[in-house]
Amino acid sequence: MAEQNFPLYEEGIAFLKRRDKKLAWLIGRIGKISHVDTKDDFQFFVEQIVGQMLSIKVADVMIGRLTDYCRGTITVDAICSLSVEEFRSLGISTRKAECIRQVAFMIRGGALDFVQLRGLPDADIMKILTSIKGIGPWTAKMYLYKIHRLDVLPYEDLVFLSAYKWLYRTRNVKPEAVRHRCRKWSPYASIAAMYLYAAYEEGLIGTEAPLLKDL
């Protein structure tokens, strides 16, 4: 059964509202939301790798082509049967194709087990995933977020940063600046990030965020 939301959601909301007035306003504006983990872990990685450095729209087209080529379902066996050249014929780069194939063959050979991976601490998951060529911190963090780890700060993610710039009325999205401002979210950074993603998805960043002095 898919997990319906982050653990300790209510405790996290209360904590974040006490620590960050801007975020408290956003939480009140959006209301109660959830992040449901429904996607197969392997398919998630395929989609994340394909989507690296692409717009959501272009990535969706590529994933659609790959899904059709795999006869409707992206599976480990289907990916292992494809050559790099076949990926390239779908518009997927050699680097991404090699990474996707490597993940598939690691799963098939037992070197990567998502059931075991989910049982590890965050730092160990990050270390294992980023040791795979083509998987960087952004993709690894998105996996931690997917499986409802509570304290993920995805400052490498462009959607997150777009909402962050809007909410805090800033242009400074250097990693150190984002980490410094958002350290008050710990240990519930994932719940805070969920609300920034929701602000982007609901089109709020096209409106004007309130000034801190007005809250």
Q: Are 100 and 79 in contact (CB under 8 A)?
A: yes
126-182 pLDDT, tens digit per residue, is: 999 999 999 999 999 999 999 999 999 999 998 999 999 999 999 999 999 999 999
Between the two ends of the chain, the Cα-to-Cα distance in Å is 40
What is the fold of 9-36+152-214?
A: Endonuclease Iii, domain 2 (1.10.1670)
Please provide the CATH number assigned to the domain covering 41-146.
1.10.340.30
- Tell me the C-alpha distance between 212 and 194, whole Å: 21
pLDDT above 70 (res 73) = yes
Token pair 């969706």: residue: 60
Token pair 């049967």: residue: 81
Sequence-distant (6+) residues with CB within 8 A of 14 are none
Q: Where are the domains of the chain?
A: 9-36+152-214, 41-146
- Alpha carbon separation from 52 to 56, 93, 125, 144 (Å, rounded): 10, 11, 20, 17
pLDDT above 60 (res 114) = yes
Taking every pair of Cα atoms in the chain, the longest distance, rounded to a whole number of angstroms, is 59
Six token digits for residue 203: 């089109």
